[in-house]
Amino acid sequence: MAFAIVLIAMFAVLTVFYLHVRPRCSDQIFSGATSPDGRWSAMVMEARCGSESPFLTHVNLHGANESIKLGYFSGKADDGEVFLLEQDAQSAGVSLEWTTSNRLTVSCAHCQRDFLKKRIQHWNDVTITYTLNSR
């Protein structure tokens, strides 16, 4: 009985370790911009959660002196996500521009509106505006 408990515990620990080391999503940074006062940082990222899953382009905000926080098991940066599009980053043409220290403009030259999943207009003290030229 003790041997079975030890085997189950080892299996659980190794599974947790495996899922952390090999998350189901891969997140890649495409571009970034820091606010004029150096307080905030915005990143255009692309995630893929499996070979059969669609590409997800997202914009994440975080403190400029903080690192991007990836999900422990997912490997995707969900914290600070303000924009999400089910389209690859290269074809979408997402760009970022800080107009003031707390105003960010997210432009998407070739967004497919049908695949737009999230668009948040306020994050902390940052106001986000969107320029979407859809197909």
Structure tokens at 74: 């997912």
Give 27-37 pLDDT, tens digit per residue: 788 888 999 99
Distance between CA atoms of residues 37 and 35, nearest Å: 6
At residue 115, does pLDDT exceed 80?
Answer: yes
Measured distance CA(79)–CA(106) in Å, rounded: 18
Cα separation of 131 and 8, whole Å?
53
pLDDT digits (tens, 9 = 90+) for 46-78: 887 777 778 889 899 998 888 777 655 555 667
The label of the residue with tokens 């969107």 reads 130
